Amino acid sequence: MTIKEIENKKEYLDSLRAFTKEEIENIDHEVIKKNVRQNPSRSELNGIADVYHYINYIMCEESSFPYPKGYKRPLTEEFLQELNRTVLYHCSYLLPCEKGFYRVGNNDMINNIILPSQEIFIPRLQKLIDWYERTNIEFITKLTYFHLEFLCNIHPFYDGNGRTARAFMNLELARLGYPMIGLKYDNADCYYEAIQKYIENKDNSFMENLIIKKIDGELDTQILIKKR
């Protein structure tokens, strides 16, 4: 499956009838389920539900007066911090004062990898945001690179970095009219393998192919719903 084939399938989906309100609610519910682990706690479910209510809120805000058609909130550090606070609101070991704030340790580790300190990761994050806002390339390639750089070479928050990155990806997909996806929990081995390939070889093709596969599956599901 290629990006062009994904775009063609989305065009076909858009040509079919509109979803009913009940169908939209069911689709949102399924997305929420796909973005939590098996047998989640009530707080985890509430936390992910908060994220998707937040995404829908942003979508409504951007399409309403006084914003012009096509308006999109710019990607900023403050926006990512706000998203991290939303991700962690119901479910985190952190104190409230740590949610949405950058980690300050110099020897923080994850999966036996030493994470960069603030003086390194803040300029990296600023550079990545600037690149994302200014670069015009295939949207899946762009989302893939941002996702991997954010997780592997920046990892700015105490907790919820993966959830923040995946929520941002789903917001961008929704903005473009694509289905939101569950990227991790229904195939965690492939997700972690794709991250490891990037860490070891700067190879983002595994993650890009995984994202394409997930979008393709959601498009097929939504086409079937509309054909009923």
Phi-psi region of 179 (alpha: psi -120 to 50; beta: other; left: phi over 0): beta
DSSP letters of 105-140? -SS-EETTEEPPPHHHHHHHHHHHHHHHHH--S-HH
Q: 157 near 122, Cβ under 8 Å?
A: no
pLDDT digits (tens, 9 = 90+) for 121-151: 999 999 999 999 999 999 999 999 999 999 9
Rounded to the nearest integer, the mean pLDDT of the chain is 92
- 195 with 148: CB under 8 angstroms? yes
Per residue in 10-39, pLDDT (tens digit) is 999 999 999 999 999 999 989 988 998 888
The pTM of the full predicted model, rounded to 2 decimals, is 0.94
pLDDT of the residue at 13: 97
Question: How many other C-beta atoms lie within 10 A of the C-beta of residue 56?
Answer: 14
Q: List the domains of the chain with CATH numbers.
A: 3-227 (1.10.3290.10)
What is d(CA 52, CA 67) in angstroms, rounded to the nearest whole number? 22
Asked if the model's pLDDT at residue 103 lies above 80, the reply is yes
| Residue of 55, 74, 54 whose CA lies nearest to 170 | 55
Asked if residue 106 has pLDDT above 90, the reply is no
Residue 48 has pLDDT above 80, yes or no: yes
Structure-block tokens of residue 203: 């190879």
The residue type found at 130 is D
| Maximum C-alpha span of the chain | 55
Residue 162, pLDDT > 90, answer: yes
* Whether the predicted pLDDT of 202 surpasses 90: yes
Residue 200 is which amino acid? E
